[in-house]
């Protein structure tokens, strides 16, 4: 922790401190936080910047945390639309319940600024610790947690060299394994349907893993073989349409999530492309529908991740020793949507369907 953050953490931050830094009266600072319609935008901006810099939380929450334990832990997930996050949150909540804690859940919608604001809100509401998703966050978020001495854990990623606690897996390593599986089957022309990479290190790392597998064989993945799409069925369909429209369509497609893979499979059905005889499709997550669709995918330990995150944070809050870095196993589940390539048939079908 830096000297500045240590100094802040060692004292009780008051609204008067915020007002002093924002160069306004304490009453004005209070109105900026509770009744922003009564003050100018310029003052609101100065007060908000002071709040973030000092790690201030309103007096009622701060007082509550000083006087007693709330036994509340918060989690910020990207979205509630995907069942893979629901599995982890359910496991997290169940384990916390067993340990005598409650859970507050909020979403960031893949936006770093919103994630920071939601984390601050969780702490304001009494969260003693926070579960985060991914390895990349607004630096101000880490400053805020350090200033308030709030334990946290990063999940769905693993990069201990970055200096933060992790319980998760290496996304790049996982898609590198998927790609090596396809390369071993004989595929040389592989396409990627990725989620949007902005403010999403998991999507970014999964694309990087495919590129790494290519480079390990002395090749480069062409940029035109990568498409970013919303994490929806339609996104998967649109992504496959794009890849099949290239001059040299891929014989196999790595999807950044099972949802994207489901869309790609739907598009194959609409075009009359047989999977895996004419094109291979692989996913990521092992969604509950993946087995029913015989989708080859990477299984993510969502339940174990949620349980271990709960154990870690409770141990931290109770001042018990705990390991800061835990890499969980992801497993390639080979089902029925990946096989050796038959380029001639696949290309002919792709061109015919255009």
User: Could you write out the DSSP letters of every residue in 139-198?
Assistant: HHHHHHHHHHT--EEEES---GGGSS-EEE--HHHHHHHHHHHHHHHT---EEEEEPP-T
pLDDT tens string 291-321: 999 999 999 999 999 999 999 999 999 999 9
Confidence of residue 39 (pLDDT cuts 50, 70, 90): confident
Of 238 and 35, the structure prediction assigns the larger pLDDT to 238
Q: What is the pTM of this model?
A: 0.79
Whole-angstrom distance, CA of residue 280 vs CA of residue 271? 14
At 230 the pLDDT is 95
Confidence of residue 354 (pLDDT cuts 50, 70, 90): low
Q: Are 104 and 70 in contact (CB under 8 A)?
A: no
Confidence of residue 213 (pLDDT cuts 50, 70, 90): very high
Is 171-300+333-353 a CATH 2.40.50.100 domain? no
Domain ranges of the chain: 1-56, 171-300+333-353
pLDDT over 90 at 66, yes or no: no
Helix/strand number for the chain, H first, E second: 14, 12
pLDDT tens string 177-202: 999 999 999 999 999 999 999 999 99
User: Can you name the CATH fold of 1-56?
Assistant: 434 Repressor (Amino-terminal Domain) (1.10.260)
% of the chain with per-residue pLDDT over 70:
90
At 64 the pLDDT is 46
């Amino acid at each position: 922790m830096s000297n500045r953050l240590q100094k802040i953490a060692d004292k009780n931050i008051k609204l008067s401190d915020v007002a002093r830094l924002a160069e306004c009266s304490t009453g004005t600072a209070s109105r900026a936080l509770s009744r922003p319609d009564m003050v100018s935008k310029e003052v609101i901006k100065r007060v908000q910047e002071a709040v973030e810099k000092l790690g201030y939380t309103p007096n009622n929450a701060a007082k509550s945390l000083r006087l007693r334990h709330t036994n509340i832990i918060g989690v910020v997930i990207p979205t509630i639309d995907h069942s893979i996050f629901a599995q982890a949150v359910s496991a997290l909540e169940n384990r916390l319940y067993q340990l005598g804690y409650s859970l507050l859940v909020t979403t960031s919608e893949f936006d770093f600024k919103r994630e920071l604001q939601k984390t601050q809100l969780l702490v304001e509401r009494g969260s003693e610790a926070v579960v985060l998703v991914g390895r990349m966050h607004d630096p101000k978020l880490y400053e805020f947690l350090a200033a308030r001495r709030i334990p946290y854990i990063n999940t769905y990623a693993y990069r201990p060299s970055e200096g933060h606690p992790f319980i998760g897996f290496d996304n790049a390593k996982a898609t590198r394994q998927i790609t090596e599986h396809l390369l071993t089957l004989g595929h040389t022309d592989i396409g990627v349907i990725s989620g949007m990479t902005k403010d999403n290190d998991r999507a970014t790392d999964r694309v990087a893993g495919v590129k790494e597998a290519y480079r390990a064989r002395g090749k480069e993945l062409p940029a035109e073989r990568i498409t970013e799409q919303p994490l929806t069925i339609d996104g998967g369909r649109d992504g496959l349409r794009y890849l099949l429209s290239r001059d040299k369509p891929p014989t196999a497609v790595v999807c950044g999530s099972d949802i994207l893979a489901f869309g790609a499979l739907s598009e194959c059905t609409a075009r009359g492309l047989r999977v895996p005889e004419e094109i291979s499709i692989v996913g990521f997550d092992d969604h509950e529908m993946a087995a029913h669709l015989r989708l080859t995918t990477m299984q993510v330990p969502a339940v174990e991740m949620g349980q271990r995150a709960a154990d870690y944070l409770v141990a931290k809050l109770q001042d018990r020793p705990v390991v800061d870095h835990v890499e969980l196993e992801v497993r390639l589940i080979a089902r029925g949507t990946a096989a050796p390539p038959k380029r001639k048939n696949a290309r002919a079908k792709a061109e015919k369907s255009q």
